[in-house]
Amino acid sequence: MSISLRAAILAGVLALVPAAANAQTVPRSMSEVNLTFAPIVKRVAPAVVNVYARTVVQSPVNPLFNDPFFRQFFGGSPEMRQRVEQSLGSGVIVRADGIILTNNHVIQGGQNIVVALSDKREFKARVLLADARTDLAVLKIDTKGEKLPTVDFANSDALQVGDLVLAIGDPFGVGQTVTMGIVSALARTQVGASDYQFFIQTDAAINPGNSGGALVTTDGKLAGINSEIYSRTGESIGIGFAIPSNLARRVVEGALGGGIKLPWIGANGQSVTNEIAKSVGLDRPEGVVLREIYPGGPAARAGLRTGEIVMAVDGVDVDDMQGLNYRIATHKAGDAPSFKIYSGGHYRDVAVKLELPPENPPPDKLTIGGRNPLTGAEVENLSPAVATDLNMDLMSRGVVLVSAGNSLAANQGFQPGDVVKSVNGANVTSTRQLQQLLNAAGGHWSLIVDRGGQRMTLTVDG
């Protein structure tokens, strides 16, 4: 839909809305509707860049050598060839000395990161931070002292559903493109896999290549980093998602300050359902009911108890654990945000002093040896700190598989993030104990593995 047509429709709708019903200034005539966003785009667009991540990949000339069974029976070393894979995304210059914000998935695995400015100049980029938990990455290019155009951060908590926004990026590699839409929804948390996903939803057209680009307010500030779309075709259908600028700002600060350390509260919870709301005397489902509290953690020291409900953090309502984790992630360790707690029919405010997740037990990384289903896998003990790094449930316990590579464990179907719970009926408590249990199995292994909350049993003889 063209801007002029959308403007005409908007003018017709606004003509039916009483002026007193609008808290913000809205167009009251066609001359106001015909005002342009061009000055904003002219100022912001030079700060939106292209990001290319190039990776050299080796593969067998004969594709049959990709099959482990073929290699087992026919042996030999395959003739290899190299090819260059390239991913394309966008980025936003947030500091004039060449600090650029983009998505982690745009540069993930890239061996050669190149940034192309709007004037077509290209620079090699250095990765200051790549954080899978937030799907954000911070790059640095050497400007030789030149000051680049930037976009200032907006306060994403000030956004309202219905606000006009612009999306700027390079969809499909066609060149820098600007689209317009509105904020369709806020606080979308059931979109990505990360515990820190808390998206702004917009109907501004976002397509492949827009990832890492800017979602901009009509006063020219960065509201979010365009990251994902909902689509069955891979193309925009008007449902796009952006990571809020308040979290993006926190990641940039962490990258420039020696790394981002996300704090935690030492608790886990779930959304309040209708049944839970009725049982505790709430009029409607709202808040996050605490199911588990880590002994000695911030929540425990603040006096919070299981069964109590977190209604808001710093005056902002929360409705699920991802939303609560997002509110915590925008703070630093040592901050003490105010929690609104509901318990026993009463409300109270509690200051919870945040801290970094503890590394207890110590990781004790180990590569599994011998001949067993986990041979070649790298494992480590789970602690809140390790779970944070691996984007897992922060209350997880046990031994987690960190990497498998081309090992026997990978051929058996094990994946990073798998938690080994038991071997032949014995509970696994540490990496060293896991190795001992595997060695003592006598050629028969029955393993229980937790993968993303689902328990699986694997039995191997040999």
Which one, of 383, 374, 432, lies nearest residue 404 by Cα?
Answer: 374
444 included as an active-site residue: no
Hey, how many other C-beta atoms are within 10 angstroms of the C-beta on 430? 17
CA distance 50 to 384: 36
CA distance 322 to 192: 10
Taking a C-beta distance cutoff of 8 angstroms, is the pair 48, 168 a contact? yes
CA angle, corner 314, sides to 310 and 315, nearest 5? 80
211 included as an active-site residue: yes
Distance of CA 111 to the CA centre of its chain: 21
Q: Which of 135, 170, 195, 393 is catalytic?
A: 135
Q: Which of 90, 105, 271, 396 is catalytic?
A: 105
CA distance 130 to 107: 8
Q: Which of 156, 184, 211, 236 is catalytic?
A: 211
- Using CA atoms, how far residue 158 sits from 154, 162, 245, 246, 331, in Å, is 8, 12, 11, 10, 17
Catalytic site positions: 105, 135, 211
